[in-house]
Amino acid sequence: MEDELAISVRGLRKTYGDNVAVAGVDLDVHRGEVFALLGPNGAGKTTTVEILEGYRHRDAGEVRVLGVDPASPDAGWRAKVGIVLQGTGEFDELTVAEVVRHFSGFYPDADDPAKVVERVGLGAKAKARTHTLSGGQKRRLDVALGIIGRPELLFLDEPTTGFDPEARREFWDLIRDLAAAGTTIVLTTHYLDEAEALADRVGVIAAGRVVEVAPPGRLGNRQEALATVSWRTPDGTPESAETASPTALVAELAARFGGEVPGLTVTRPTLEDVYLRMIGH
């Protein structure tokens, strides 16, 4: 059903001169979903997202975002779409509270600016000029401006680049919070753990194409992949075997060694392994 989809993309193409940035992307994002677009730099993530945000024109393809073609965005549509771009738009001379309050005036049903500043963790910095903020704090301000209008759909383009681990965790909590409140979220990232932690589904994009769309745990048939069992022989040589039944192999090894198996590990491909294979490494 059309209404179930926040975003629907078919055959999206965009070229810059001879460079094909997006070479035929198909994508569906359901309402209420957290969707991560994962891919290396230059894969076409930002171009794709900026077309969905109404910033760029496409060369070909069908695109619907909240039921509207973003090539001709109107104010009503803009009010329902929150955008956090990649590193943009400081208002050096203004304070955090002033900027957020100003932007709240653009939206028909804006959230309380003070509450939003608090929510993104900038409460202590509300009266600080934005040029005094650290990189991570500026990013939080970006997010505050993205959510001040209570968007139905929120785009986040590489939102945690430059965050320290603690700030990322806090940021993830904020995203989960928004998602729990029903906001549809599309984020691009090149952090696999971020996609795994946040996304209901991940779309892997490489060389301008969506290679696969799946929940993070099932990407590249990860759950069915062979496990690798490694151990050391009595003379210390490392051995390993790929198997669909690692438990049986471990039991057999235990019997062979008469107890502890030296250097025993059982691993399955990490998301990173799967991802690197998909993007052609």
Q: Name the residues that contact another protein, by CB under 8 A.
A: 16, 47, 53-56, 75-76, 78-81, 83, 85, 87-94, 98, 101-110, 112-115, 145, 149-150, 152, 181-182
Work out how close the CB of 91 gets to another protein at its nearest, in angstroms, rounded to a whole number.
7
Work out how close the CB of 245 gets to another protein at its nearest, in angstroms, rounded to a whole number.
50
Residue 105 or 165 with smaller CB distance to another protein: 105
Contact 110, 78 (CB under 8 A): no
Residue 139 or 222 with smaller CB distance to another protein: 139
Residue 2 or 92 with smaller CB distance to another protein: 92
Work out how close the CB of 54 gets to another protein at its nearest, in angstroms, rounded to a whole number.
8
Tell the residue number behind the tokens 């903020």, with chain if given.
133
Residue 103 or 275 with smaller CB distance to another protein: 103
Work out how close the CB of 149 gets to another protein at its nearest, in angstroms, rounded to a whole number.
7
Residue 84 or 227 with smaller CB distance to another protein: 84
Work out how close the CB of 166 gets to another protein at its nearest, in angstroms, rounded to a whole number.
27
DSSP string across the chain = -GGGEEEEEEEEEEEETTEEEEEEEEEEEETT-EEEEE--TTSSHHHHHHHHTTSS--SEEEEEETTB-TTS--HHHHHHEEEE-SS----TTSBHHHHHHHHHTTSTTPPPHHHHHHHTT-GGGTTSBGGGS-HHHHHHHHHHHHHTT--SEEEEESTTTT--HHHHHHHHHHHHHHHHTT-EEEEEES-HHHHHHH-SEEEEEETTEEEEEE-GGGGGGGGGSPEEEEEE-TTS-EEEEEES-HHHHHHHHHHHHTSPPTT-EEE---HHHHHHHHTT-
Work out how close the CB of 88 gets to another protein at its nearest, in angstroms, rounded to a whole number.
3
Residue 2 or 93 with smaller CB distance to another protein: 93
- Please name which of 184, 202, 188 lies closest in space to residue 157, comparing C-alpha atoms: 188
Work out how close the CB of 106 gets to another protein at its nearest, in angstroms, rounded to a whole number.
4
Residue 42's beta-bridge partner residues? none
- Please name which of 73, 46, 58, 79 lies closest in space to residue 9, comparing C-alpha atoms: 58
Residue 34 or 85 with smaller CB distance to another protein: 85
